């Protein structure tokens, strides 16, 4: 089995509709694909219908944006949770609303120096999608300011840029607790992706583990090899699941479906642990 447990649609910052992601997963020879849009489950229904048609098993999921008290960004993958769980839904709604306000402020700052308007950004956001920096990047690409999203994030949209604005995000350990309460399986996404910004220390890992963290996304292109070695030891010491994923965004990133995979044994364990919603077959 070829299993990829991290992909995005245009419900968040991917470039393909959820159904098209399922078609691409089938074309890539995947047997199982997780749809993990940022702070949203709105793509589940379309993806489920398409997955059945393409003969691909769908793992309904989400990627939750979190932040530590030190201001370090943490992304938490959540599989097979109940999308109607009140506590989790409240937190992701707060985060989505904060993303929108943050984007408005960032665009206002960017407009002082670049040919960019709010309408330019909204043009790249699908109706109801979780708005984020990638959409601002797409507008900058369209305006000819940068060549692609990667250049935008390495320069104008980096967290060290004067245009960067923080937004509300839950504490990662609290998010882990909510995911567990919702019957979901929480996995720390690309934990040592240092090129994205600061990464957490062992205290945060321990807090997340104590709260019920189930696994670590170790095999991911943004995790450097020395960081992967640390994560493997941590996983072995605490009995955490080890996953591998592409973090596919369609044309939004160079990541390709199936470039990193999760073992069938780990997938089976995730399916056993997830009680909020079933795998779609």
- In this predicted structure, what is the pLDDT of residue 127? 84
pLDDT along the chain (281 residues), means of 10: 97 96 98 97 98 98 95 96 97 90 94 95 88 92 93 90 92 98 98 90 97 98 96 98 97 94 98 98 96
Question: Is 131 a member of any domain?
Answer: no
Question: Is 76 a member of any domain?
Answer: yes
pTM: 0.90
- In this predicted structure, what is the pLDDT of residue 166? 86
- In this predicted structure, what is the pLDDT of residue 242? 98
Question: Is 112 a member of any domain?
Answer: no
Question: Is 157 a member of any domain?
Answer: no
Question: Is 279 a member of any domain?
Answer: no
Question: Is 121 a member of any domain?
Answer: no
Question: Is 158 a member of any domain?
Answer: no
Q: Which residues contact 136 (CB under 8 A, 6 or more apart)?
A: 103, 106, 107, 110, 116, 121, 152, 157
CATH number of the domain that 180 lies in?
Answer: 3.20.20.140
Are residues 217 and 241 in contact, defined by beta-carbon separation less than 8 angstroms?
Answer: no
- In this predicted structure, what is the pLDDT of residue 70? 92
- In this predicted structure, what is the pLDDT of residue 24? 98
What's the structural domain count of the chain? 1
Domain assignment of residue 193, given as a range: 3-93+167-273
Question: Which residue, 21, 184, 204, is CA-closest to 92?
Answer: 184
- In this predicted structure, what is the pLDDT of residue 130? 82
């Amino acid at each position: 089995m070829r299993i990829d447990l991290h992909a995005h649609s245009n419900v968040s910052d991917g470039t393909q509709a959820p159904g098209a992601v399922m078609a691409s997963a089938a074309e890539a020879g995947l047997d199982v694909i997780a749809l993990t849009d940022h702070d949203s489950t709105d793509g589940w229904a379309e993806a489920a219908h398409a997955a059945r048609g393409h003969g691909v098993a769908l793992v309904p999921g989400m990627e939750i944006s979190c932040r530590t008290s030190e201001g370090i960004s943490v992304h938490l993958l959540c599989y097979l949770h109940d999308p109607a769980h009140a506590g989790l839904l409240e937190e992701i709604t707060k985060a989505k609303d904060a993303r929108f306000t943050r984007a408005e402020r960032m665009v206002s700052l960017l407009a002082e120096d670049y040919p960019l308007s709010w309408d330019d950004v909204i043009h790249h956001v699908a109706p109801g999608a979780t708005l984020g920096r990638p959409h601002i990047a797409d507008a900058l690409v369209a305006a000819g300011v940068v060549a692609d999203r990667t250049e935008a994030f390495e320069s104008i949209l980096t967290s060290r840029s004067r245009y960067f604005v923080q937004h509300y995000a839950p504490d990662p350990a609290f998010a882990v607790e909510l995911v567990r309460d919702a019957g979901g399986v929480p996995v720390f996404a690309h934990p040592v992706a240092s090129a994205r910004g600061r990464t957490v220390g062992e205290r945060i890992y321990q807090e997340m583990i104590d709260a019920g963290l189930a696994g670590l996304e170790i095999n991911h292109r943004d995790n450097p090899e020395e960081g992967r070695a640390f994560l493997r030891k941590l996983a072995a010491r605490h009995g955490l699941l080890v996953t591998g994923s592409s973090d596919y965004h369609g044309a939004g990133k160079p990541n390709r479906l199936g470039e990193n995979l999760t073992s069938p044994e780990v997938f089976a364990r995730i399916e056993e642990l997830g009680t909020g919603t079933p795998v779609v077959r």
